[in-house]
């Protein structure tokens, strides 16, 4: 039987019940007052879309509802066990196991109108999205679009809704988790997503558009839930194995943030950068 996964142990998050729900919650929060497909991408008959790193597959499945039936959406991930099984999928959606850091099968070269990628920051090596972008670019037809979405940690602020303000546990938690228990540079201090427009230019993409959307204020507690769930997953999966009580420390910070769920929140931009492969 074909496997649904590869590289399982290298994945820093988990793939259990909480993870499935977190990814789907995050998806709906991401799209609040936003869009599935960037409005500059023309929706047409026969549209072919590739999704990179599908998670539960929720983006591909929802997008399949807003494109013509003749459109085709192919999702790629190192592990598709969080997606619905093939028998439940619409006819025009597929999910396949592929390590997107490596070249795609030759027959896919130049076959897609759109490459969509969202929340992939943890898997970008050496803070350099360039090699990945070049890999994705090969999938695109001339004139095709790349749409990359990430949280913009540079814009992160902790918002207090209580007087007096409670002690900020969110920043230390994100720093601790982001630096894998202070063993690595923190991805929350990594600002390459803000530089994506420049990176797009350097690799020859055109028609670059940048979209920044903070969360609606009333939804901030739900975003905090999603963020804390991810921190907890990482505490078990990546910090406990390091020993020294690192996992426990992270979980005690998660607990404090939860105790202050009515008082302290984090806000940041949902950043999307769109670019187009030149026609020639
Ligand atoms: C944080 S989740 C985001 C899922 C989805 N993009 C979303 O926005 O809901 C990242 C996904 O990328 C996948 N992933 C990680 N490294 C990958 C790689 N080298 N190739 C393909 N997928 C990868 C993970 O398995 C996971 O499903």
Is 43 part of a structural domain of the chain?
yes
* Dist CA 226 CA 13 (whole Å): 13
198 occurs within a structural domain: yes
Whether 17 maps to a domain, the answer reads: yes
CATH classification of the domain holding 171: 3.40.50.150
Closest ligand 1 atom to residue 58 Cα is 9
Residues with CB under 6 A from ligand 1: 11, 23, 27, 53-55, 59, 76-79, 99-101, 118-120, 123
- 231 contacts: CB under 8 Å, gap ≥ 6: 173, 174, 177, 250, 253, 254
**Is the Cα torsion angle 247, 253, 258, 261 positive or negative in sign?**
negative
Residue 2 lies in a domain: no
Q: What pLDDT digit, counting tens, does each position of 217-266 carry? A: 999 999 999 999 999 999 999 999 999 999 999 999 999 999 999 999 99
User: Which pLDDT score is estimated for 10?
Assistant: 67
**Residue 6: predicted pLDDT:** 46
- Spatial CA neighbour of 190 closest among 152, 246, 218: 152
- For the cut 50, the answer to whether the pLDDT of residue 18 exceeds it is yes
The string of pLDDT tens digits covering residues 108-132 is 999 999 999 999 998 998 899 999 9
**Among the atoms of ligand 1, which is closest to the Cα of residue 51?**
6
Identify the residue whose C-alpha is closest to ligand 1 atom 27. 55
- Domain assignment of residue 115, yes or no: yes
Cβ(57)–Cβ(83) under 8 Å?
yes
Cα of 162 from ligand 1 centre, angstroms: 36
Note the pLDDT of residue 7.
Answer: 47
Ligand 1: nearest atom to the Cα of 27? 9
Is 3 inside any structural domain?
no
Q: Which atom of ligand 1 is nearest to the CA of 26?
A: 9
Give the position, in ligand 1's atom list, of the atom nearest the Cα of 102.
Answer: 19
- pLDDT one-digit tens code per residue, 195-216: 999 999 999 999 999 999 999 9
Mean pLDDT, the chain, whole residue set: 93
Q: In the prediction, which pLDDT does 16 show?
A: 83
Q: Which residues, listed in sequence order, are joined to residue 157 by a DSSP beta bridge?
A: 267
- What pLDDT is attached to residue 186? 87
Q: For ligand 1, atom 19, name the residue with the nearest CA.
A: 99
Q: Which domain holds residue 34?
A: 8-276
pLDDT tens digits, residue range 47-92? 999 999 999 999 999 999 999 999 999 999 999 999 999 999 999 9
Residue to mutate (ligand 1; options 53, 79, 121, 122; most atoms within 8 A of CB)? 53
Asked whether residue 1 is domain-assigned, the answer is: no
Which comes out higher in pLDDT, residue 274 or 5?
274
Query: 152 lies in a domain?
Result: yes
Query: How far does the centroid of ligand 1 lie from the alpha carbon of residue 163, in Å?
Result: 39
248 three-class SS: helix
Quote the number of domains for the chain.
1
Residue 176 has pLDDT above 90, yes or no: yes
**Residue 136 pLDDT:** 97
Residue 28: helix, strand or coil by DSSP?
A: helix
Q: Which of 103, 117, 123 to mutate to test the pocket of ligand 1 (most atoms within 8 A of CB)?
A: 123
């Amino acid at each position: 039987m074909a496997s649904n996964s590869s590289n399982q142990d290298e994945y820093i998050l988990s793939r259990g019940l909480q993870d499935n729900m977190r990814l789907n919650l995050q998806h709906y929060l991401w799209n609040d007052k936003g869009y599935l497909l960037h409005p500059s991408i023309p929706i047409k008959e026969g549209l072919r879309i590739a999704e990179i790193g599908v998670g539960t597959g929720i983006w591909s499945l929802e997008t399949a509802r807003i494109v013509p039936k003749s459109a085709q959406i192919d999702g790629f991930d190192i592990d598709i066990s969080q997606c619905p099984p093939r028998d439940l999928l619409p006819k025009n959606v597929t999910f396949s196991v592929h390590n997107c850091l490596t070249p795609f099968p030759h027959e896919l070269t130049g076959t897609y109108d759109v490459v969509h990628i969202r929340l992939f920051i943890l898997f970008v090596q050496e803070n350099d999205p360039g090699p990945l972008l070049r890999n994705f670019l090969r999938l695109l037809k001339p004139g095709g679009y790349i749409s990359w979405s990430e949280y913009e940690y540079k814009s992160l602020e902790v918002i207090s809704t209580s007087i007096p303000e409670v002690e900020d546990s969110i920043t230390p938690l994100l720093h601790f988790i982001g630096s894998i228990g202070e063993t690595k540079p923190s991805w929350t201090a990594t600002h390459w997503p803000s530089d994506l427009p420049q990176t797009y230019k350097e690799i020859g993409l055109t028609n670059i558009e940048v979209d920044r959307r903070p969360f609606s204020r009333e939804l901030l507690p739900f975003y905090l839930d999603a963020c804390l769930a991810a921190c907890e997953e990482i505490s078990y999966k990546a910090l406990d194995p390091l020993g020294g009580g690192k996992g426990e420390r992270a979980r005690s910070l998660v607990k404090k943030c939860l105790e202050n769920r009515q008082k302290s929140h984090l806000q940041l931009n949902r950043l999307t950068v769109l670019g187009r492969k030149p026609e020639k």
